[in-house]
Structure 1
């Protein structure tokens, strides 16, 4: 059973949940959502993994940064916060699995504290994610049903998409917009060659946001990487089919983690 806790990171109360014991697996959520997006997938992971699922600042049960109504933050800010969070828990050899902006954060973290990271799995993210028109971002509606359906893969169930809409709608709209702007401005292609960790890049074949080119572009900059396409998945694999995605992740970990 997951245990919820708070940790003071740079004066911000960060909420996180821990489940299981064993190899630490840190799960980073998507833009404008919170750790609940991982909840069903975690149930399908073996007991020998300890999942740690934080809510990013201003998301879910975590408090926002000072002046959040006027001050937008970057992927770098989130990565610095999670870096301090990892250090506060004294985690070593941690596996990081991030999706969407969580994948961008995972990549950024490997450039910051690679010595603490065993490997990074980046789903639906890349080294450069300038994918939206800024004016469209500013008009974003977290409860947009059509957008949710468009971003999910053909095999996603209606109930899973409803879960996504509910989680996103229950978070702050301005935080969501800020996340999308941070995503759009993210570009660390010139820093990726410094990463010595194994990095797995993946995208759902139905993802309209992250292209195969973006993964290839990122992979070429990394020393130790591979990329894969997930048939039937879109931009939110852990919600669309949590059981199948969990099996994919476990299969990767069994091959890569000795």
Structure 2
């Protein structure tokens, strides 16, 4: 357990296991603890670096909006700070978006990336989910006191009283339009696009993202010669949702199968 002063933020991180380094990034309103049920699967053969993102878990917020590209820069700075040589980066939900930004903005620092349950356009999210996201504000803090997210924050945050501020910032972030289509089209880091079959965006969106990466456009061929030229892949995990994918051994085994294949 340690802190790194990087990119203007005092970023909390833990290191588990030994082997080729792997940075594991949690979802919104969570922390690295959310990987508890499956962390041992990742750490069995890898050195797992487990940060808490800006304003989450044990990382205190700073005077900066919560924006996924900036958090991608935080993780790239952490990779440099720790002297990691081309680690793999695996992220879920908010962390999936951050993993994608690390791969887009700092391709020289990443070997492979897994982007799970993270749409690349705001409009890809189901309308009813966008409506719910619009209700995330500091005023909702009182109603969240019985939730695991609130319990975690109160237990580990440097300033537990900042929970309403985190909700305000997350709500503001989710309200902003975004579209990373062109950035994804130029992605140079081999990337696995992953989602649950009942995720926050329809499976067709993740198939579309795979298409931007030269995937799903032709037969793969006997020797794999027709697979995407950049080494990208797609996985839609069965029987899961946005809310339990991260607890599933399938998330770990599918991620590891991709990053360990080369």
TM-score of Structure 1 vs Structure 2, range by shorter chain: 0.7 to 0.9
Counterpart selection for 2:97 from 92, 97, 104? 104
Moved over 6 A (4+): 142-145
Aligned residues of 1:128 and 1:188 also touching (Cα < 8 A): yes
Q: CA deviation at 1:180?
A: 4.7
Counterpart selection for 1:192 from 173, 184, 187? 184
**For structure 2, which runs of at least 5 residues remain unmatched after alignment?**
158-162, 215-229
1:72 paired residue number: 65
Q: CA deviation at 1:181?
A: 3.9
2:234 paired residue number: 227
**For structure 1, which runs of at least 5 residues remain unmatched after alignment?**
146-161
Distance of 2:15 and 2:142 partners within structure 1:
29
Aligned residues of 2:93 and 2:117 also touching (Cα < 8 A): yes
Distance of 1:233 and 1:168 partners within structure 2:
26
Structure 1 residues 83-94: aligned runs within 5 Å: 83-94=76-87
Aligned residues of 2:136 and 2:167 also touching (Cα < 8 A): no
Distance of 2:21 and 2:151 partners within structure 1:
28
2:218 paired residue number: none
Q: CA deviation at 1:121?
A: 0.6
Q: CA deviation at 1:166?
A: 4.2
Distance of 2:150 and 2:202 partners within structure 1:
23
Q: Higher Cα Rg: structure 1 or 2?
A: 2
**TM score, norm. by length of structure 1:** 0.78
Aligned residues of 1:29 and 1:37 also touching (Cα < 8 A): yes
* Closer/same/farther in 2, CA of residues 51 and 128 from structure 1, 3 Å limit: same
Structure 1 residues 128-143: aligned runs within 5 Å: 128-130=121-123, 131=125, 132-133=130-131, 135-138=134-137, 141=140
Q: CA deviation at 1:219?
A: 1.8
SS in 2 for 1:59: coil
Counterpart selection for 1:248 from 226, 248, 254? 254
With 86-95 and 25-34 compared, the bigger mean Cα shift is at 86-95
2:30 paired residue number: 33
Q: CA deviation at 1:140?
A: 8.0
* Alignment size in residue pairs: 232
* Closer/same/farther in 2, CA of residues 92 and 126 from structure 1, 3 Å limit: farther
Distance of 1:181 and 1:121 partners within structure 2:
26
